[in-house]
Amino acid sequence: MDSWELVDGPIGPLLLLATPRGLAGVVFHARPEVCARFLDRAAGRLGARPERDAGSPVLAEAIPQLTGYLAGELWSFSLPLDWSLLPGGSEGFNGRVLRELAASVPYGSVVGYGELARRVGRPGGAQAVGTAMGANPLPVVVPCHRVVESDGGVGGFSGGLETKRRLLALEGVLPEPLF
């Protein structure tokens, strides 16, 4: 059964969605209306509306790992991932980019959009990499916050720039925000 739960933390509430195959979604700013919209869309892709159940096997692994990461106590995730919510699936361009990101950009480091495009065999594809980051159904776990502009700018982020800055500060890439 597909299940979901909320996790509260220093970047606000997150909704975690799991299928029996793995973690399938992480949603920022998980207010009731955001959750309802996301769960409706997920139901369309998964075939049924997920049920709230923190005790599902995947969520039982994911919640403590995410909590540990947000507390600065965990540097990498070891979770099964389900790419069902990724447009094009894990084998399309978006999937190749996200898998490369997860495999080659560790905690505390960053990569430029253009460099990531080069790594997946698409030199000059920085914009396409940005689109892939925006399509990432598993932010934080698949660390799209670690992708930055080549000129030193932080770039965009589905969870908002303040959230991206906080995650990069957590990993020691940026100084802690003043407020």
The residues annotated with a catalytic role in the active site are: 144
Could you give the C-alpha distances from 140 to 20, 40, 77, 103, 157, in angstroms and in order?
20, 22, 9, 14, 11
- What is residue 108's three-state secondary structure? coil
User: In sequence order, which residues have a C-beta less than 8 Å from that of residue 39 and are 6 or more positions away?
Assistant: 4, 17, 49, 50
| Token code pair at residue 111 | 């990569």
Query: What values do phi and psi take at 88, rounded to 5?
Result: 90, -10
The DSSP symbol for 73 reads: -
Beta pairing, strands 22-27 & 14-19: antiparallel
3-state DSSP call for residue 6? strand
